[in-house]
Amino acid sequence: MADPRRALAGALRQHVEGLKALGVTALPRSAPTAPAPASRASQASKTARLAQLAEEVRKCHRCPLYRTRTHPVISDGSPNAKLMFIGEAPGRDEDLQGVPFVGAAGQLLTKMIQAMGFRREDVYICNVLKDRPPGNRTPEPEEMEACLPFLEEQLAIVQPRVICTLGAVATKALLGPHISITKVRGETRDYHGITLVPTFHPAYLLRNPPAKKFAWADLKLVKKLLESGAGGGRQGAREGS
């Protein structure tokens, strides 16, 4: 039988490694999270609606990317999440596995989530594009326009309290093409009643480690917004957590 103390020590070690990866030396104080019963019915209906959406993505021919993809990449995490991370588009690893943010940038994102005190399975992770652009090129405006209804549907189903856009593409997709990520990162914006905080993309952070401190500041703001009940509700990253 697994030793619970070893499991706890392992989880703590993982958390500390996540903090180190972000260059974090001090932690924000947070109040203990109060458990709340999540509605099983609403969770089941969210899961069913997301499964339907995944089927529509699989059949989608709205742009040519379906011809070159291996797998569509729809989401990872909890349909009940209060925090949604939105990236740009699947890369090579994501295309092969059909799961968002599993490559090098994804590993950093996982550490960032853990540094916030959450687990990857507590948040909802997705991208603007569901299919990989060949060679990881930047998505074309027509591809983003074709794919955006899927992201809008994901937002309508999951109904997160806070959205964290990762990088310029996701931020522009939701806030408009003239938005500059360097100008708006770390600020709060409204996206149809949901609080949105743009931050740098983890791939950018891997290329520019000094920018990690800004991303960490943005994530602390996200955590504070969740704790203060942004959009209503309780603390934690997931309903009932």
Cβ atoms of 102 and 94 within 8 Å: the answer is yes
Residues facing residue 127 across a β-bridge? 87
Q: How many residues bind ligand URA (CB under 6 A)?
A: 13
Residue closest to ligand URA when measured from CB atoms:
87
Q: How far apart are CA 190 and CA 210, in angstroms?
A: 28
Least distance in Å: CB of 182 to ligand URA? 18
Site string for ligand URA, 177-216 (x = CB under 6 A): --------------------------x-------------
**Closest distance to ligand URA from the beta carbon of 229 (Å):** 29
C-beta of 88 vs 218, nearer to ligand URA: 88
Give 90 or 236: the residue with its C-beta nearer to ligand URA: 90
Task: Quote the distance between the C-alpha of residue 200 and its chain's center.
Answer: 12
Bridge partners (DSSP) listed for residue 111: none
Burial of 153 (0-12, 13-18, 19+ CB in 10 A): middle
CB nearer to ligand URA: pick between 22 and 129: 129
Residue bearing tokens 């797998």: 71
226: helix, strand or coil: helix
Under the binding rule (CB under 6 A), the answer on residue 173 touching ligand URA is: no
Phi and psi angles of residue 209, each rounded to the nearest 5 degrees, phi first: -55, -35
CB 38 within 8 A of CB 237: no
Task: Provide the mask over 125-154, with x wherever binding to ligand URA is found by CB under 6 A and - wherever it is not.
Answer: --x---------------------------
Question: Which residues in 157-184 are b (16+ Cβ under 10 Å) and which e?
Answer: bbbbbbbbbbbbbbbbbbbeeebebeeb
- Whole-number minimum distance, CB 3 to ligand URA, in Å? 34
SS3 216: helix
Q: Which is nearer to ligand URA, 102 or 226 (CB)?
A: 102
| Residue 101: CB minimum distance to ligand URA, A | 4
> Closer to ligand URA at the Cβ: 89 or 197?
89
Q: Look at the alpha carbons of 177, 178, 183, 186 in this order and tell me if their dihedral is positive or negative.
A: negative
Binding mask 83-122 for ligand URA (x = CB under 6 A): ----xxxxx--x-----xx-x-xx----------------
* Interacting residues with ligand URA (CB under 6 A): 87-91, 94, 100-101, 103, 105-106, 127, 203
